[in-house]
Structures are given as structure tokens and as C-alpha cells.
């Protein structure tokens, strides 16, 4: 569904100004949106996943280990598909607290695509280079929204998610390096336009929530603070916006209608998207490429 059609439906969570800000700037932040009773459940679920990661000695398709990880001191960069690892995450992602919020920017009928939990353990070595999300999972239009929830909040030194304001209206960049590796990183030579006045670092207290357009250029620095910076990142689209490549982060819930009704017709926005690698055989994470320096700027 296109923005003008979304806007023809009344919002249930966002104010008109917040909704307009999302479509104009490519993101909107909602301080303290998720209440403590949910955050406590989500933190408890994350703690269980962290416990399970003690037995891991290498990154796999679910657990992405941070430098220094051990059974005694579990340290995680990310958990892929947390909703398939612990029921609390799926309960949260299908609760109106999330689905009504998604509906305000994708329209009343909402489809789930995938999710991840970026734990970003303290004193970490990895950030996320400047990139765009939609090239990794192209859809028939650009309705997909990533909703990021800081479970414990995020300060400046914790590598906040950082957005280039208005960049969703610009071009899509290549996510391949010169050697043809899929590195999910915009080459530095393409970033001359990205001046400090366009950069927005999203910080805030526990439950602070960010809605991010799928074309927006974003990244984040490594977490240099002592404590982890867990950010839960479910992705939703309009029900009439269909992915046309296999997902790099597959889930049995991909395609579930989590609000409203399934679509009978697809919505198309024919602006081109560079094809990701063929991930039918699985996703080769970007961190295997040595030249991905993990610094967004
Ligand atoms: O967790 C972060 O700081 C950035 C996340 C991100 O950009 C991603 O997972 O694609």
C-alpha cells in the first residue's frame, strides 16, 4: 500500500504529526512507547536466549556471537528470528501494541516478514555500516517498516541506531563490494551527500521505539558502553506488499497476517531494487567479509 492510501485510513496510535514525520523523514521515534510490563517479559525471554547461547562456540544461523563470547560470559551481537526461539516474542509481535502501530504506517492489513534481536553486548566490536534494508528483502512496493524497540533504552555511547533523515526519498545504493561480496554496506565513495546535519542518532529510555522506512539509510557504531543495548526489530509490511526473493532471515511466520485481512491484489511500485544473492540455500552473514569494517561513519 502506498503512503497516500495509508493516510486515507485513520491512525490509532500515532498523531497526525508523527505519521507525517514518518513519511517525510523516513523514520519517527516514540520515547517510552512500550510499557514496563511488556519490557519485563521481553527481557526475561532474552535472558533465556542468552542462557542457551552459553553452549555455542561459533556463530550459527540463529546466534551471532560477539567477540569474547564464552560459556562463562555469553556475549551476543544478534539473535535471528527471536519469535521462533521464545513464545513471548511472537506474543509481543502479534499484540495490538505492535500491530496497531505498524498499521498506522502500512495500512489496516498487516503482514509479518521477519525479526531479529540485536543484543549488542557491552564493550562490543561490531556496529552496522551505513546501509538500506529493502535490497536484502525486496517487496512489490516500499511499504515495509522496521519497528525497533530498545528494551533497556540507549545512550549515545551504546551505538544508537542512526538514520540519515530524508534518505528514503533518495536512490537505493548497491550492497555489494567491488569484489561482488554482499556486504550490506554503502561504499564510502557514495556517501558524500551524508552530512552531519542529516544524521539523527536515536537515543532514549527503556521502551523507546523507532519506526524506520525500508529505504532509509541507517547504521550504528559499536557499543562502547559496559552494558548491552538490546534492540528488538520486527519487520511488517502492508498485506498487499509481497516479498519476491527468499528471506535472508527465514521464519515459519513469514507472510502471517497479524492484523486485518489478506490481500487479493498486490500493490506495485516499480522503482528498481538491486537483487540480493540467492538465499534459498541460506544466508551468508555480512560479518564473514573481512572488509566490512562495521563502522557506519
Ligand atoms: O542494531 C543496530 O544498531 C542497527 C540495526 C540494523 O541496521 C540492522 O539490523 O539492519
Instruction: Quick: pLDDT tens for 184-221.
Output: 999 999 999 999 999 999 999 999 999 999 999 999 99
Give the residue from 140, 136, 110, 109 showing the smallest Cα distance to 241. Answer: 140
Percent of the chain whose predicted confidence (pLDDT) is above 90: 92
Give the residue from 254, 234, 252, 230 showing the smallest Cα distance to 244. Answer: 254
Q: Is the CB of 164 under 6 A from ligand 1?
A: no
Q: How many Å lie between the centroid of ligand 1 and the Cα of residue 281?
A: 23
Instruction: Quick: pLDDT tens for 149-163.
Output: 999 999 999 999 999
> Kindly report the CA angle at 235 between 45 and 98, in degrees rounded to 5?
65
Q: How many Å lie between the centroid of ligand 1 and the Cα of residue 290?
A: 18
Lowest mean pLDDT among 59-68, 200-209, 241-250, 280-289: 280-289
Give the per-residue pLDDT at 281: 78
Give the residue from 41, 27, 221 showing the smallest Cα distance to 124. Answer: 221
Res. 288: pLDDT tops 60: no
| Shortest-distance atom of ligand 1 to CA 219 | 7
Q: Where are the domains of the chain?
A: 3-288
Half-sphere exposure of 95 (CA within 13 A, CB side): 12
Q: Is the CB of 220 under 6 A from ligand 1?
A: yes
Res. 129: pLDDT tops 80: yes
Q: Whose CA is nearest to atom 2 of ligand 1?
A: 161
- For residues 220 and 159, the answer to whether their CB atoms sit within 8 Å is yes
Give the per-residue pLDDT at 250: 94
Superfamily for the 3-288 domain: q2cbj1_9rhob like domain (2.60.120.620)
Q: Is the CB of 218 under 6 A from ligand 1?
A: yes
Q: How many Å lie between the centroid of ligand 1 and the Cα of residue 233?
A: 8
Q: How many Å lie between the centroid of ligand 1 and the Cα of residue 286?
A: 12
What mean pLDDT do residues 58-80 have?
A: 94
| Shortest-distance atom of ligand 1 to CA 161 | 3
Q: Is the CB of 149 under 6 A from ligand 1?
A: no
| Shortest-distance atom of ligand 1 to CA 231 | 1
27 or 124, which is more confident? 27
Q: How confident is the model at residue 283 (pLDDT cuts 50, 70, 90)?
A: confident
What is the rounded distance in angstroms from the CA atom of residue 37 to the CA atom of residue 19?
26
Give the per-residue pLDDT at 294: 45
Give the per-residue pLDDT at 280: 85
Long-range contacts of 92-95 (CB under 8 A, 24+ apart): 92/38, 92/41, 92/42, 92/232, 93/234, 93/258, 94/256, 94/258, 95/38
- For residues 163 and 200, the answer to whether their CB atoms sit within 8 Å is yes
- pTM equals 0.95
Q: How does DSSP assign 36-79, residue by residue?
A: HHHHHHHHHHHHHHHHHGGG-SS--SSEEEPTT--SSS--EEEE
Give the residue from 229, 284, 289, 286 showing the smallest Cα distance to 75. Answer: 229
Res. 177: pLDDT tops 70: yes
Cβ neighbours of residue 117 under 8 Å, at least 6 residues apart?
46, 49, 78, 79, 82, 89, 230, 231, 232, 233
Q: Is the CB of 161 under 6 A from ligand 1?
A: yes
Hey, which of 122, 183, 231, 292 would you mutate to test ligand 1's pocket, going by the most ligand atoms within 8 Å of its Cβ?
231
Q: How many Å lie between the centroid of ligand 1 and the Cα of residue 220?
A: 7
Q: Whose CA is nearest to atom 9 of ligand 1?
A: 118
Res. 84: pLDDT tops 90: yes
240 or 278, which is more confident? 240
Give the per-residue pLDDT at 287: 52
What is the rounded distance in angstroms from the CA atom of residue 221 to the CA atom of residue 262?
38
What is the rounded distance in angstroms from the CA atom of residue 109 to the CA atom of residue 112?
10
What is the rounded distance in angstroms from the CA atom of residue 203 to the CA atom of residue 208?
8
Q: Which residues pair with 147 in a beta bridge?
A: 211
| Total Cβ atoms within 10 A of residue 226 | 10
Q: How confident is the model at residue 292 (pLDDT cuts 50, 70, 90)?
A: very low
Give the per-residue pLDDT at 284: 65
Hey, which of 116, 220, 228 would you mutate to test ligand 1's pocket, going by the most ligand atoms within 8 Å of its Cβ?
220
| Shortest-distance atom of ligand 1 to CA 131 | 7
Q: Whose CA is nearest to atom 7 of ligand 1?
A: 219
What mean pLDDT do residues 68-84 have?
A: 96
Write out the E strands in the chain: 27-30, 63-65, 76-80, 110-118, 128-131, 145-150, 162-164, 199-201, 209-213, 218-220, 231-238, 257-259
| Shortest-distance atom of ligand 1 to CA 118 | 1
Q: How many Å lie between the centroid of ligand 1 and the Cα of residue 120?
A: 10
Amino acid at each position: 500500500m502506498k503512503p497516500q492510501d495509508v493516510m486515507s485510513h485513520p491512525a490509532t496510535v500515532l498523531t497526525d504529526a508523527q505519521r507525517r514525520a514518518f513519511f517525510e523523514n523516513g523514520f519517527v521515534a516514540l520515547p517510552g512507547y512500550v510499557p514496563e510490563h511488556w519490557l519485563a517479559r521481553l527481557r526475561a525471554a532474552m535472558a533465556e536466549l542468552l542462557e542457551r547461547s552459553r553452549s555455542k562456540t561459533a556463530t550459527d544461523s540463529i546466534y551471532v556471537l560477539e567477540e569474547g563470547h564464552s560459556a562463562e560470559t555469553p556475549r551476543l551481537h544478534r539473535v535471528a528470528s527471536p519469535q521462533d526461539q521464545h513464545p513471548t516474542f511472537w506474543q509481543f509481535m502479534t499484540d495490538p501494541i505492535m500491530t496497531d502501530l505498524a498499521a498506522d504506517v502500512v495500512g489496516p492489513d498487516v503482514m509479518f516478514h521477519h525479526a531479529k534481536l540485536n543484543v549488542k553486548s557491552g564493550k562490543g566490536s561490531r556496529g552496522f555500516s551505513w546501509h538500506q534494508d529493502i535490497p536484502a528483502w525486496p517487496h512489490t512496493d516500499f511499504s515495509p517498516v522496521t519497528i525497533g524497540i530498545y528494551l533497556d533504552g540507549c545512550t549515545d555511547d551504546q551505538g544508537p541506531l542512526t538514520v540519515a533523515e530524508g534518505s528514503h526519498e533518495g536512490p537505493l545504493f548497491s550492497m555489494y563490494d567491488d569484489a561482488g561480496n554482499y556486504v550490506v554496506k554503502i561504499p564510502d565513495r557514495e556517501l558524500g551527500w551524508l552530512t552531519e546535519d542529516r544524521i539523527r542518532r536515536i537515543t532514549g529510555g527503556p521502551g523507546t521505539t523507532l519506526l524506520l522506512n525500508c529505504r532509509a539509510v541507517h547504521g550504528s557504531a559499536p557499543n562502547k558502553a559496559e552494558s548491552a543495548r538490546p534492540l528488538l526489530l520486527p519487520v511488517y509490511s502492508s498485506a498487499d506488499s509481497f516479498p519476491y526473493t527468499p528471506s535472508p532471515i527465514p521464519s515459519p511466520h513469514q507472510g502471517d497476517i497479524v492484523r486485518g485481512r489478506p490481500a487479493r491484489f498486490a500493490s506495485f511500485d516499480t522503482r528498481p531494487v538491486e537483487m540480493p544473492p540467492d538465499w534459498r540455500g541460506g544466508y551468508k552473514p555480512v560479518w564473514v567479509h573481512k572488509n566490512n569494517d562495521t563502522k557506519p561513519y
